Structure 1
Amino acid sequence: MYLAKQFGANWFTTVMGIGIVAALTYSSPFRFPCQHAIGIVVFWGLNALFVVATPLWASRWLLYPKEALEDFRHPERVLFYGALAMGINVVGNDWFIVGRHVFHPSLAVDVSKAVWVVGAIVAVLTAVIVPYLLFTEHQVSTKDTLASWLIPVVPPIVAAATGSNLIPYWGGVQVQFAVTAVILAMFGMTFFLFIMVSSLVYARLVYHQRLGGAVVPSLWVEIGPIGMSMATLATLATKIHAILPQYSHLLEGLAAVASMALWGVGIWWIAIAAMHTLFHLRKRGEGIPFNMGWWSYVFPIGSFTSGTYALGHLLRYDFFVIAGFVQLLILWGCFAIVLARTVSGVVNGSLLQWKPPADAFLQKEHANPQHARG
């Protein structure tokens, strides 16, 4: 199980990326040939990956607890526990969006609800524990500030956005109101943390030297919570008529105005991140070496696309339907490149080593000579 030793929470960025591509492809309001078939195929791939990834990650805790605990002492590796939380929520959301058309609808909804509860709990724990460790244990400086600091605080708003679809399926009005209250609380938790962390990121971009090519993909993380904020507000506005009828029209207007304003902020971040990316692809830049951080080109773009979809459903104007389709095409382009590079890295051993290095085996034999002779 040497493979499990290397399998940290960062690998759930692949679950996030594949999952959001499946849901957005299947549910695209701009219809195109085979979209449902493609979405279902990617949905099956997501479930296969999740079934493999979860035991591998759990095995790391059972077989290599020292290495697993060491992640919490590392200010960069610990961030990816947010990817674990978001990966769980994405799987649950895909069972609602796609799974209802593959399995019996009530079964798919029950699975989605169960997974959402687990994902919401993990999301809140991540948003509390990781910042606490940053405040009390980790040693960082302002120049270390990256948009990847958002990864552990974004999960509650991902849970809020995905949970909004499930509101009508939670029994009576009292239960639906409780779920809505929890969703709004999680939205508030992440939204204001997003503003604070983004302020730090902006300051780092202003006062320190430009980002290096290896970390420039992290800038794309910024559009993730923007998209999920849009999705939460716009979806809630269409789901609470039975719970808060006296506020439904007010919330629809607020959601429309706020989401369109956030859409503008997202476009600005996309422009800034794209220019950084293009700079490092030119001769003056450093290049962008491939690593798992490249999945920042997938899930955040997908999150922003989901927000555009939700805004289109709320306002019912072709502008956001067409914008959402353009974003989906860009998402698929990024997804194809990153997935191909990831599969290649796994196969050739540059991302995951399939067996221990020979020198490590020799060192083990040298440290246990009697065992080696026996």
Structure 2
Amino acid sequence: MGIIRQIGPHWFTTVMGIGIVAALTFTSPIAIPFQHVIGTLLFFLLNVVFAAAMGSWILRWMFHTRESLNDFRHPSSALFYGAFAMGINVVGNDYLLIGTQIFHAAPALLVSKVLWVAGTVASIFTVVVVPYLLFAEHEVEPQQTLATWLIPVVPPIVAAATGMNLIPFWQGHAVQFAMLALLLAMFGVTFFLFMMVSGLVYSRLVYHKRLSGEAAPSLWVEIGPIGMSMAVFGSLSTKTTSIFAPYTHLLHALGLIFDMALWGVGVWWIVISSMHTILHVTKRGDGLPFHMGWWSYVFPIGSFTNGTYALAHLTSYPVFFVAGLVQLLMLWGCFVVVFARTAHGIYKGDLLQWRVHRRRRGMAAVH
């Protein structure tokens, strides 16, 4: 049970990362060798990691309730309930995109819907409770502002982007319209909060000491909601034809304008984030010590790649298909490094102190 105590909601960042790499590899608009095989293998790995993370999280609440409640009292730990919510939605989306292709479609679709509902409930809980705690209970200073503050407010837009894929699979015009209304409302919540938090992050970067090497990966979180916003608007003209049939061309044009504008913002954030990362591996920097925050190099890049995929399908221009492939390769480079470092950290006992507990049990047995 000592290991279980250490499994907080931040471990769901691994679920998010594996899940989005699996989906983007499987659905790459430019055919790549073995993309379906690799995507399927990652999908099975995702199920194992998700089951382990969810099981450990439940056991932690059962046997270490005080530590679990303390997550909400700590400004940094509370943020990662956003990862918990997003992880559920990512797994549900993978069941739609991959699971329906390798299993019987109906059960896989049902799993996708159930997980989407669960992830949406968790997303709404997170976007209300965590900011409220930040407003009313937590004490923070302006220089502590990081892009990780986006983690609890991003889940509704992830639920919106994954929910758009499910709209055609709900029966009845009224149900589909209700779904769309909910998805657009959740998009609005996150996008509005994204703008405000980004303003705080920009202000912190301007007026306070530069980000440390330990905090540098957090900047990449900024491109996550940008990519998911692109996915939402990129899907409007294709997923809502039964609702907005007379306005399909208008929605297509709106999606194009919105997505291309956001794509430019996303590229800017990638450049700025890359410059911060490079700075800290030079003599002028602090180095980049490894921690679980390195998963910020994975899901946000995957999210923006997902948005580029949507833009490629909207425009049919080769430049965006190529850009999507380049971003996928960049994503894979980050994923391999972060996954390997995480596995090594677990094995060495740096991320989970299982070796210490094992030695203690052995010493207790001797005595």
Distance 1:31 1:358 in 2: 46
Contact 1:214-1:289 at 8 Å conserved across structures? yes
Compute the RMSD of aligned alpha carbons: 1.6
Distance 2:316 2:163 in 1: 22
Question: Percent identity between the aligned chains?
Answer: 60
* Residues 95-244 of structure 1: pairs in structure 2 closer than 5 A: 95-244=95-244
- 1:250 CA displacement: 1.5
CA displacement, residues 23-81 of structure 1 (integer Å, 9 cap, x when unaligned): 00000000011000000000000001111110101111111111111110100010000
Distance 2:198 2:150 in 1: 8
Q: How many residues align?
A: 364
- 1:249 CA displacement: 1.8
- What residue is the counterpart of 1:251 in the other structure? 251
- What residue is the counterpart of 1:3 in the other structure? 3
Aligned residue type for 1:106: A
- What residue is the counterpart of 1:21 in the other structure? 21
Aligned residue type for 1:196: M
- What residue is the counterpart of 1:269 in the other structure? 269
Distance 1:302 1:192 in 2: 22
- What residue is the counterpart of 1:369 in the other structure? none
Secondary structure (helix, strand or coil) at the match of 1:211 reads coil
Aligned residue type for 2:343: V
Secondary structure (helix, strand or coil) at the match of 1:32 reads coil
Secondary structure (helix, strand or coil) at the match of 2:354 reads coil
Distance 2:150 2:326 in 1: 26
Q: 1:136 to 1:177 in 2, by over 3 A?
A: same
- What residue is the counterpart of 1:39 in the other structure? 39
Can you give the 5+ residue segments of structure 2 that lack an aligned partner in the other structure?
Answer: none
Q: 1:358 to 1:92 in 2, by over 3 A?
A: closer
- 1:252 CA displacement: 1.1
Aligned residue type for 2:129: I
- 1:122 CA displacement: 0.4
- 1:248 CA displacement: 2.1
Aligned residue type for 1:225: P
- 1:355 CA displacement: 5.5
Distance 1:24 1:279 in 2: 29
- What residue is the counterpart of 1:331 in the other structure? 331
TM-score by length of 1: 0.95
Distance 1:73 1:31 in 2: 47
Contact 1:3-1:355 at 8 Å conserved across structures? no
**Which deviates more from structure 2 when the two are superposed, residues 141-150 or residues 239-248?**
239-248
- What residue is the counterpart of 1:57 in the other structure? 57
Aligned residue type for 2:38: I
Contact 2:21-2:302 at 8 Å conserved across structures? yes
Contact 2:167-2:180 at 8 Å conserved across structures? yes
- What residue is the counterpart of 1:354 in the other structure? 354
- 1:225 CA displacement: 0.2
Contact 1:2-1:355 at 8 Å conserved across structures? no
Asked whether 1:280 is paired with 2:280, we answer yes
Can you give the 5+ residue segments of structure 1 that lack an aligned partner in the other structure?
Answer: 366-372
